[in-house]
Amino acid sequence: MKKIILTGDRPTGRLHVGHYVGSLKRRVELQNSGEFDDIYIMIADAQALTDNADNPDKVRENIIEVALDYLSCGLDPAKSTLFIQSYVQELTELTFYYSNLVTVSRLQRNPTVKSEIQMRNFEASIPVGFFTYPISQAADITAFKATTVPVGEDQLPMLEQTREIVRKFNQTYGDTLVEPEILLPDNEACLRLPGIDGKAKMSKSLGNCIYLAEDEKDVQKKVMSMYTDPNHIRVQDPGQVEGNTVFTYLDAFCKDEYFAEYLPDYANLDELKEHYRRGGLGDVKVKRFLNAVLNEELSPIRARRKEYEKDIAYVYDVLKAGSEKARAVAAQTLEEVKASMRINYFDDEELIKKHIQKYQK
């Protein structure tokens, strides 16, 4: 069986370092591993509209931002198909058919949808499109016969829902769709990178993100203002590493080689943590180190972004070509789906013959 990746992001803002360690970095590694036959990276504008119906300009403005972030992280249009969800009309058609296989109560139990509804104060007025976006996500994944979906932990319920839809579809209409596997980050810190305030998740509305496109100075300011251990007041006090945002970020980003370059008194992160716990290591020193690490990780991304920013027309061409390619693939799957569902009347000569006979006298 072919190995196929599909994943994507909602274009509601620029991508941040949480996206990077949670999924983007992995995608680039998978892309360059050469292990996959096809890779599809989708800008989920239609999904973004499910809770931004009144603000299409926000989505419109952020498609190019997300595309620039993708390219600057190292996604390569020669190896990965970058495309725009709404351009692939077949996805909405698949969603319509799959929605017959999902119950309202099953959707109500989806933990991600539940918490998003709370976050947006939608309780009394949930748009139907938003409520059913897990079904449309199943369409996104299955249209490309994806075997592997690299995403953050919050997407687990979507993948479970997709797998259920696939099983139900195949059971009802015969083997047609492929059941995908989720691929989560293997590092705890990458799984759930907190905002700079130590809050559960980075989010634009909380203003606690570090964006991939942010310049060195702004990143430094944010790092220096990061939440640490509130009880670590004087340098000599013992400090706590768990729940200390600066150390969580180091867990996510640090490599041993950065110590040799920026903090040669320590061989690795374990030694640094040990000193912090013991006392005698100040927050500022650790923050400076984190800033250097982030700068090492982000500066190649910034540099590539600068290059792509010079040729926005090219980026739009990439998206257009990718969307056309994606559409052809999804159209093929839709044909198969309709054949399995026995709603491909005009392609079915047997059906027509049978009905001719039925009425022949």
Query: Could you say which of 4, 5, 10, 248 contacts ligand TRP (CB under 6 A)?
Result: 10
Nearer to ligand TRP, 88 or 151 (CB): 151
Q: Which of 185, 136, 134, 139 is nearest to 160 (CA)?
A: 134
Nearer to ligand TRP, 27 or 273 (CB): 27
User: How would you class 80 by CB atoms within 10 Å of its CB: exposed for 0-12, middle for 13-18, buried for 19 or more?
Assistant: buried
Q: Which two tokens stand for residue 259?
A: 């110590």
Q: Minimal distance in Å, beta carbon 159 to ligand TRP?
A: 8
Q: Determine the interface stretch with ligand TRP among 2-10, 74-82, 188-196, 275-283 (rule: CB under 6 A).
A: 2-10
The radius of gyration of the chain's CA atoms, rounded to the nearest angstrom, is: 24
Q: Minimal distance in Å, beta carbon 146 to ligand TRP?
A: 8
Amino acid at 355: H
Q: How many residues does the chain have?
A: 361
Q: Determine the interface stretch with ligand TRP among 8-16, 73-81, 195-203, 242-250 (rule: CB under 6 A).
A: 8-16
Name the residue whose CB lies closest to ligand TRP.
Answer: 44
Nearer to ligand TRP, 7 or 333 (CB): 7
Q: Determine the interface stretch with ligand TRP among 5-13, 205-213, 312-320, 337-345 (rule: CB under 6 A).
A: 5-13
Count of residues of this chain found to bind ligand TRP when the rule CB under 6 A is applied? 13
Amino acid at 314: Y
How far is Cα of residue 28 from the mean position of the Cα atoms in its chain?
13
Q: Which of 336, 317, 320, 330 is nearest to 4 (CA)?
A: 330
Nearer to ligand TRP, 183 or 318 (CB): 183
Binding mask 44-83 for ligand TRP (x = CB under 6 A): x--x------------------------------------
- Sorted by sequence, the CB contacts under 8 Å of residue 131 that are 6+ apart come out as 107, 113
Q: Which of 79, 85, 66 is nearest to 315 (CA)?
A: 66
Binding mask 136-155 for ligand TRP (x = CB under 6 A): -x--xx-------x-x---x
Buried residues in 13-34 as b, exposed as e (16+ CB within 10 A): bbbbbbbbbbbbbbbbebbeee
Q: Minimal distance in Å, beta carbon 128 to ligand TRP?
A: 17
Q: Determine the interface stretch with ligand TRP among 7-15, 247-255, 256-264, 311-319 (rule: CB under 6 A).
A: 7-15
Q: Minimal distance in Å, beta carbon 351 to ligand TRP?
A: 34
Amino acid at 310: K
Q: What is the DSSP letter of 11?
A: -
Q: Minimal distance in Å, beta carbon 186 to ligand TRP?
A: 18
Contact between 283 and ligand TRP by CB under 6 A: the answer reads: no
Q: Which two tokens stand for residue 316?
A: 């739009």
Q: Minimal distance in Å, beta carbon 221 to ligand TRP?
A: 27
Q: Minimal distance in Å, beta carbon 90 to ligand TRP?
A: 14
Q: Minimal distance in Å, beta carbon 165 to ligand TRP?
A: 13
Report d(CA 321, CA 316) in Å as an integer. Answer: 9
Nearer to ligand TRP, 10 or 287 (CB): 10
Report d(CA 38, CA 3) in Å as an integer. Answer: 7
The answer to whether 254 and 211 have CB atoms below 8 angstroms apart is no
Q: What is the DSSP letter of 338?
A: H
Nearer to ligand TRP, 156 or 339 (CB): 156
Q: Which two tokens stand for residue 95?
A: 């969603």
Q: Determine the interface stretch with ligand TRP among 1-9, 89-97, 221-229, 334-342 (rule: CB under 6 A).
A: 1-9
Report d(CA 183, CA 250) in Å as an integer. Answer: 22
Interacting residues toward ligand TRP by CB under 6 A: 6-10, 44, 47, 137, 140-141, 149, 151, 155
